[in-house]
Amino acid sequence: MVKEQGTGKREQGTEAIKGKRLASVENIAGSFVERPKAIAALRAQIASGSVRASGLAAEYYASIEQKNPHLNVYLSLTKERALAQAARVDDLASKGDPLPALAGIPVGIKDVLVVKGAPATAGSKILAGYHPPYDATVVSKLEAAGAVLLGKTNCDEFAMGSSNENSAYGPVRNPVDTERVPGGSSGGSAAAVAANMAVATLGSDTGGSIRQPASFCGVVGVLPTYGRVSRYGLIAFASSLDRVGPFAANVRDAATMLSVIAGHDPHDATSSPAPVDGYATESDKPVEGMRIGVPAEYFAEGLDAQVRAEIEKGIDALRSAGCTIKPVSLPHTKYAVPVYYLIATAEASANLARFDGVRYGYRSPVPATLSDMYSHSRDEGFGAEVKRRILLGTYALSAGYYDAYYRKAQQVRRILAEEFLRAFAEVDAIVTPTAPTAAFKIGEKSDDPLAMYLADIYTVTASLAGICGVTVPCGATSAGLPVGMQVLATHFGESKAFRVARAVEAAHL
């Protein structure tokens, strides 16, 4: 449900219980697609006084009120905090003071990142009623840069899913075609940008949860290098894989967002002290002379013919821009999905053990004993997909199976990472399809977990290797469904990925 922070008032919006239907819509392809203005243009208007940040925030809340009943993008709103921030930006602008990078820019936050005082559900019933007492580091950085935080976006429960159908608060609908999924798990964040319900958003990516939704919704999504962005305040799924990254309507805006949230954080021991580039400026550089790798393993059986055709057009555009296209080999790619679903579920089993009904969140009213309270709270609080992954992970870590499954998966993970490093010794970036198909229909894969897991086949490899990537729109199918190209670069090679993505974007404008 959409609530205003601190009021508890139910707004007109999504149904609160999983399984209830959203407001009926007459599906018209693209009827909710409305791209936001670029960050630089909006910031310049606010600086000049031709647009007030307070007025801009009000416009976005009006858009949310109109569209959210149909798309189910936002779970809660932080209106009081947003309008206070917008007023501060207006005050700076009226004095002629320099404005920070995101001054007055309306932003949405995936509901796996904590915002002080706002509901933090992670799309799960088990966190009902939890209001964290602190901000995630990325949230603090956005606000310090002047961003106006509109609210929390819907997602698959605990970021586990590829369709956003696993949320306890109902599925998000794709703004391009409301009968189709927006991708997952950050479907709400991707849909918010595609429907102009935020100028930019934050999501999290464990095995493709930023890149695949960006592809399905026709927006730009960024997977930063592991350690590039702090995870402090991120509700954990799989700690060696989880990353926070931005969505935006164009490459330059995504680069601007990453520059703001990147950098070392003393609260996160895994965050890197490596210097942060000016990614927006880097994205403007030409790609002439760059070497672009194309791995045959990503163009094999299972890739939709129309998706393949659009990606090949994107590769041709890079060739025309002066890039050298070179075949590369990543032969262990075929093992990536099983390796990912062993490691990720094992880490999920450990991370989700803390949600037990004792300290915060949902507690079952049924049992009389402590043991029963644990089991009933977890059984009633977690959804089917989360329970499936906890069971898989617990099995993989159990005595007698650890060496056969989890340890072996970690060994193959290292091989996958080494293959990427060898490839990047020969090329500056690697381009692939982001997903094997365009957005599929809601319910189409719900009863087939394996088919759903295979939707991540082109994204989990980069997650396992710890490298970075950008997904950029690269055409559309005959039905008008967006196709995304994934641009991968080596560790802390975000600048190169942005350059290549910007060239692809320029060819498709």
Q: According to the model, what pLDDT value does residue 31 have?
A: 74
Task: Report the alpha-carbon distance of residue 394 to residue 345 in Å, rounded.
Answer: 8
pLDDT at 359: 86
Q: Alpha-carbon distance 219 to 306, whole Å?
A: 18
Instruction: Show the domain range for 213.
Output: 36-283
Per-residue pLDDT band for 16 (boundaries 50, 70, 90) equals very low
185 annotated active-site: yes
Asked whether the predicted pLDDT for residue 18 surpasses 80, the reply is: no
- The answer to the question of residue 172 being in a domain is yes
Dihedral in degrees, nearest 10, Cα atoms 352, 155, 225, 472: 160
Look at residue 117 and tell me if it is in a domain.
yes
If one counts the domains in the chain, the total is 1
Of the ranges 7-11, 286-290, 347-351, which one carries the lowest mean pLDDT score?
7-11
State the average pLDDT over residues 215-222. 98
Please give the helix or strand (H or E) that residue 107 lies within, else none.
strand 106-110
For 159, phi then psi, to 5°, come to 65, 25
- How far is 33 from 71, CA to CA, in rounded Å? 11
Helices (H) and strands (E) in the chain, counts: 16, 12
Query: Considering the domain boundaries, does residue 425 fall inside one?
Result: no
CB count within 10 Å of CB 44 equals 13
Positive or negative torsion for Cα 472, 475, 478, 479: positive
What's the pLDDT band for 348 if we cut at 50, 70, 90? very high
Range 340-365 average pLDDT: 94
* pLDDT tens by residue, 288-328: 999 999 999 999 989 999 999 999 999 999 999 999 999 99
| 337 pLDDT above the threshold of 80 | yes
pLDDT tier at 1, thresholds 50, 70, 90: low
Phi-psi region of 34 (alpha: psi -120 to 50; beta: other; left: phi over 0): beta
**110 falls within a domain:** yes
Crossing angle, helix 53-71 and helix 79-95, to 10 degrees? 150
User: Catalytic one among 79, 110, 141, 496?
Assistant: 110
pLDDT at 44 over 50: yes
Which among 209, 230, 272, 377 is annotated as catalytic? 209
**Torsion region of 450: left, alpha or beta (phi above 0 gives left; psi -120 to 50 gives alpha):** alpha
Average pLDDT over residues 370-387: 94
Over residues 169-211, the pLDDT tens digits come to 999 999 999 999 999 999 999 999 999 999 999 999 999 999 9
CATH number of the domain encompassing residue 211: 3.90.1300.10
d(CA 484, CA 213): 9
pLDDT at residue number 47: 97
| Locus of tokens 């999920």 | 348
Cα–Cα distance for residue pair 238/410, rounded to 1 Å: 14
- Smallest CA-to-CA distance from 159 within 244, 255, 96 is with 244
Residue 455: band (very low, low, confident or very high) from pLDDT cuts 50, 70, 90: confident
212 closest CA partner among 251, 181, 179, 250: 181
Distance CA 454, CA 429 (A): 24
How sure is the predictor about 4, in pLDDT bands with cuts at 50, 70 and 90? Answer: low
pLDDT exceeding 90 applies to what percent of the chain?
89
| 205 DSSP β-pair partners | 243
Residue 110 known to be catalytic = yes
Confirm whether 420 is domain-assigned: no
In a domain, 455, yes or no: no
Q: Is residue 102 part of a domain?
A: yes
Instruction: Write down the catalytic residue from 162, 185, 186, 230.
Output: 185
CB 61 within 8 A of CB 106: no
Query: Residue 5 — pLDDT band, cuts 50, 70, 90?
Result: low
Asked if the structure places residue 345 within a domain, the reply is: no
Average pLDDT value for the chain: 93
Query: What letter would DSSP give residue 243?
Result: E
Lowest-pLDDT range, 22-26, 56-60, 465-469, 474-478? 22-26
